[in-house]
Amino acid sequence: MKKITIMLLVLTLAFMMIGAQSVLAAKTVKVGHGHSTSHPVHLGFEVFKELLEKKSGGDYKVEIFPNSQLGSEAEMAEMCKLGTMQCVMFGRFESMGMELYTPALPFIFKDYDHVNRVLSGPIGDYIASFTEDNGLKLLGWAHSGFRQITNNVRPIKSPADLKGLKMRTPPLENILQTMQSFGANATPIAYSELYMALKTGVVDGQENPWVNVVSEKMYEVQKYATEVNYIYMPGPFCAGLDWWESLSEEDQRMVGEAAAVATKYTNYITESSNEAYKQKCIDEGMEIYEPTDAERQAFIGMVQPVYDYFIEQGASTQRLIELIQNN
């Protein structure tokens, strides 16, 4: 009896150790972004976590870090390249390759159908390939959204109304160049500092898609908005290239499939909720102006210098711009 008891104890301890080893063997995938937990990007990462953990039978454990917990987008991109985190969904194109600015040039897309048609085809694949020259692997094109203009001074009905306004922009050349072409005083400020900059009057206004205006509650500190859809920003789902290449073909398949579904889900939420986000801003007291076709054309007529800038930088070509516009 004593021997049986000892044997059972040994077997129990052995099974516990095997269980502990299997938990320790789980491969951790750290992913991050700069938005709140209600944002479509975060919801997409939750789908990625659920699918990868399920598909791998628990071999992978995904940890999500929202709200720039691991650093700015540029810092997270470098972490992915170094292998201290694995994936990020972001729009910091200097970290991915200047060529990724092409689909984020002003007025290059008409609507989401146009975006999806281009980025899911050979043009999207061609542009995505440049991330590999910069230590990243693009696994899916996520929407960051069509961007609108808000401020606390006056309604914006033409580029002339932006003249002299201090407009916060992210540190992205496409937005800086475009705001300057409109005559605004472009002022780069970190996304995490934007709300307070608006509240305290450090800047007069900003530009973001409706989803970000709602997610960050900018309607509390901005009175006027113009729905001009002046830039579409992709937020590519990228993995560190060294980490990606270290995976087996089977693991690459699992990660790639999970990322593809995650970006599609992010895009579905962003597209289907766009009008609801806009309505939320109206309900919270923002005055929203919708330009006429002629008024919007006045904005469009001022952005060729932005195209020229990126062509001169070698980040794009007039031919590629026209291919996208005419697709």
199: phi then psi, degrees, rounded to nearest 5: -65, -40
Gyration radius of the chain over CA positions:
23
DSSP state of 26: P
The predicted model gives 46-67 an average pLDDT of 97
Instruction: Give per-residue pLDDT as tens, 230-263.
Output: 999 999 999 999 999 999 999 999 999 999 999 9
Q: Alpha helices, DSSP H only, in the chain?
A: 2-25, 40-55, 73-82, 93-96, 112-119, 122-128, 173-182, 194-199, 210-215, 241-246, 249-272, 274-283, 293-300, 304-312, 318-325
| Nearest-angstrom CA–CA distance, 206 and 222 | 9
Q: Reply yes or no on whether the pLDDT at 132 is more than 60.
A: yes
Q: How confident is the model at residue 192 (pLDDT cuts 50, 70, 90)?
A: confident
Q: Reply yes or no on whether the pLDDT at 37 is more than 70.
A: yes
Task: Kindly list the domain boundaries of the chain, sorted by start residue.
Answer: 26-102+110-144+234-272, 146-232+275-325
Q: Reply yes or no on whether the pLDDT at 19 is more than 60.
A: no
Task: Tell the residue number behind the tokens 């908005």, with chain if given.
Answer: 225
Q: Reply yes or no on whether the pLDDT at 317 is more than 80.
A: yes
Q: Which CATH class is domain 146-232+275-325?
A: alpha beta
Query: Comparing 187-196, 199-208, 218-227, which segment has the lowest mean pLDDT?
Result: 187-196
SS3 track for 180-242: HHHCCEEEECCHHHHHHHHHCCCCCEEEECHHHHHHCCHHHCCCEEECCCCCEEECCEEEEHH
- A 10 A CB-CB count for 257 gives 15
| Nearest-angstrom CA–CA distance, 142 and 33 | 12
Q: How confident is the model at residue 8 (pLDDT cuts 50, 70, 90)?
A: very low
Q: Reply yes or no on whether the pLDDT at 301 is more than 80.
A: yes
Instruction: Give the pLDDT of residue 4.
Output: 43
- Mean pLDDT, the chain, rounded, equals 92
The predicted model gives 291-297 an average pLDDT of 96
Strand partners, 140: 237
Domains 26-102+110-144+234-272 and 146-232+275-325 share a fold: yes
| Nearest-angstrom CA–CA distance, 86 and 135 | 12
Q: Reply yes or no on whether the pLDDT at 23 is more than 90.
A: no
Instruction: Give per-residue pLDDT as tens, 109-122.
Output: 999 999 999 999 99
Q: Reply yes or no on whether the pLDDT at 9 is more than 80.
A: no
Q: Reply yes or no on whether the pLDDT at 267 is more than 70.
A: yes
SS3 call for 316: coil
| Nearest-angstrom CA–CA distance, 89 and 151 | 27
> What is the fold of 26-102+110-144+234-272?
D-Maltodextrin-Binding Protein; domain 2 (3.40.190)
Note whether 277 and 210 are within 8 A (CB).
yes
Instruction: Give the pLDDT of residue 94.
Output: 87
DSSP state of 315: S
Q: How confident is the model at residue 92 (pLDDT cuts 50, 70, 90)?
A: confident
| Nearest-angstrom CA–CA distance, 291 and 228 | 7
The alpha carbon of 1 is separated from its chain's Cα centroid by a whole number of angstroms, namely 64
The predicted model gives 182-201 an average pLDDT of 95
pTM of the model: 0.87
Closest CA to 104 of 236, 290, 206: 236
Q: How confident is the model at residue 25 (pLDDT cuts 50, 70, 90)?
A: low
| Nearest-angstrom CA–CA distance, 282 and 279 | 5
Q: Reply yes or no on whether the pLDDT at 15 is more than 70.
A: no
| Nearest-angstrom CA–CA distance, 244 and 190 | 29
